[in-house]
Amino acid sequence: QWFGNAVTESTWDDAWLSEGFATFFSMLFQEHAYGHEEFVAAIKNSRKSVYNFSKKDSTYSIVAPRSAETDPVTTGITYQKGAWVLHMLREKIGHDNFRKGIQAYYAKYFNANATTANFKEEMEKISGQNLATFFNQWLYKPENLKISAHWEYDANAQQILLSIKQTHYSGFVFDFPIEIEIFDAKTNSTEIMTFTVNTKEAIIPIKYNKNPSSIKFDPRTVLLAEIEMK
């Protein structure tokens, strides 16, 4: 009946393997039954919950050594951020690989116990990617990404200058892809580009022969971040 009962986490440390999965797959059902906009609304609500909870407890990470006798083993972070990890993982390795990885993980650990490391191993096998940084920063770290973003157009150089600064309270630096959508009102056209950011502050030049009407950061809602536009 429940995915987490058929593949159960080995300890409370990995409770997200049932609860985060349950949350994300319920969103996928909403998308299947009611359309993509319902999915986007659900994932946005989850993002809001993550940042609201982190204001109350900024030290809670999804995976950590916990005991039900002494600690809260699940919180909104377990459910909502756990769902977001799966959402971002699906985008990172591709939807087909994600589906195949889930199937392989489920088949291997059906009616048994699994750890986050076991899940990571199966997704790496399917995707051919090293997911160590991804899993470490989103699952084992309590920080939640906050960004101050700015863009301007340099007509002389014919380029867009993107400015992205990580502004969350700690010194931890995330490594993440960020999408932008460039809109041209004259032609009523849009173009989506993706860039990798792995420094606290980044200036990204983009060759572009006309002044964009607007630029939107994370247009598809695929990055767990609070983005403040300057």
Distances (CA, A) of 43 to 23, 26, 28, 109, 222: 10, 11, 10, 27, 9
User: Using an 8 Å Cβ cutoff, are 206 and 162 in contact?
Assistant: yes
Measured CA to CA, the distance from residue 143 to residue 166 in angstroms comes to 11
Mind listing the pLDDT tens digit for each residue in 116-144? Answer: 999 999 999 999 999 999 999 999 999 99
* Residues 6 or more apart whose Cβ sits within 8 Å of residue 209: 158
Give pLDDT, residue 79: 96
- pLDDT lower than 70: segments of the chain: 1-2, 4
Closest CA to 173 of 143, 150, 194, 149: 143
Burial bucket for residue 68 (CB in 10 Å: 0-12, 13-18, 19+) = exposed
Length of the chain: 230
Mind listing the pLDDT tens digit for each residue in 79-99? Answer: 999 999 999 999 999 999 999
Strands 189-197 and 176-184: antiparallel
Distances (CA, A) of 179 to 19, 71, 174, 185: 28, 37, 15, 19
CA dihedral 207, 210, 213, 217 (to 10 degrees): 0
* pTM for this prediction: 0.94
According to DSSP, residue 137 is labeled I
Give pLDDT, residue 2: 67
